Amino acid sequence: MGLFSKIRDGLKKTRESMSASVSAMLNSFTKIDESLFEELEELLIMGDVGVETAGRVCEELRRKVKEQGVKDPNDVYDLLRTIVADMLRGGEELKIGTKPSVILVIGVNGVGKTTTIGKLAALLGSQGKKVILGAADTFRAAAIEQLEVWAQRSGAELVKQTQGSDPASVVFDSIAAAKAREADVVICDTAGRLHNKKNLMEELSKISRVIQREAPDADREVLLVLDAATGQNAVSQAREFQSAAEITGIVLTKLDGTPKGGVVLSIREELGLPVKFIGVGEQVDDLQTFDADQFARALFERQEETNETDHSDA
């Protein structure tokens, strides 16, 4: 299966829910008028794009329709795809040019954080990078054991302490191991739940200070893992974490199991955070580097295009 087909299949539920409705709506119009834009905005909101973002999409669409003199409602579909790709583009690539580089992975329990770390380790390993995993989620029962399984699957090395240990101490040990073993990347797990927001901020600040002290010149990514199935709640979660950590990008998981993939647009527009990876399945290679053009194409794919893709993959 090609990479685009994997992304397209992962977005199947969102596409069937949102873009099929948009396509049917456009087909019901014989001219482009304000009623078309109003109905489109409603459909985007229902697709978890978010009220503010849906408004911005439609404003940009109005501008392009006027600027290009578009008359046929069916041509709106391609314009919409272009606008969505333009809104999502930028900042997708990981900044991991130093040796070692540090990736801190944060997010609430249940979003697929540990699984994401394992898949990311496998992806980087397939690119020839030596990866060390730091089991700094020392609060949750079985978190260390889960990461150990993923380390074995991905071929990464694991640095761990006992449950209840100081997470910052695990990060310290992980960076020291990366230096000693000449690893390319350190990926650190973190607790998904602490007692309150103040504790979360303090824990993340402490970890950040350790990274800054032990690897001051290292490239650093702070990736927030969000579950796409939670829709607009994912945006609220991101806001909370954004106030507690210097997030550099989003990993959106479980896109294949939800019709709420439109939330990607809200996250990008309302929070200004780039989506770096998307999870489109259970397999180890189902964590995909985010590509705005492919995402927009998969989200708003016409039936005839689907048939052509299926034929080319056969």
Tell me: is residue 15 an annotated ligand-binding position: no
Distance CA 222, CA 241 (A): 11
Is residue 55 annotated as involved in ligand binding?
no
Check the annotation: does 107 bind a ligand: yes
Q: Known binder of ligand: residue 116?
A: no
Q: Annotation-wise, does 254 bind a ligand?
A: yes
78 annotated as a binding-site residue = no
HSE-CB at 104 with a 13 A cutoff on CA atoms is: 31
| Residue 108 annotated as part of some ligand binding site | yes
**Annotation-wise, does 191 bind a ligand?**
yes
To the question of whether residue 113 is assigned a binding role by annotation, the answer is: yes
- Give the Cα separation of 17 and 260 in Å (integer): 9
Say whether 110 counts as a known binding-site residue.
yes
Residue 71, helix vs strand vs coil: coil
CB 223 within 8 A of CB 276: yes
Please indicate if the annotation marks 256 as binding a ligand: yes
d(CA 145, CA 180): 24
Alpha-carbon distances of 83 from 57, 58, 175, 275, 283, rounded to whole Å: 7, 9, 41, 16, 31
The annotation status of 193 as a binding-site residue, yes or no, is yes
Angle of helix 20-27 relative to helix 75-88, nearest 10 degrees, comes to 140
Neighbouring CB atoms inside 10 A of 93's CB total 11
Torsion of CA 122, 128, 134, 137, to 10 degrees: -20
Cα 160 to Cα 53, 112, 130, 279: the distances in Å are 42, 20, 17, 26
For the annotated binding site for GTP, the residues are 107-114, 189-193, 253-256
Annotated binding site: which residue ranges?
107-114, 189-193, 253-256
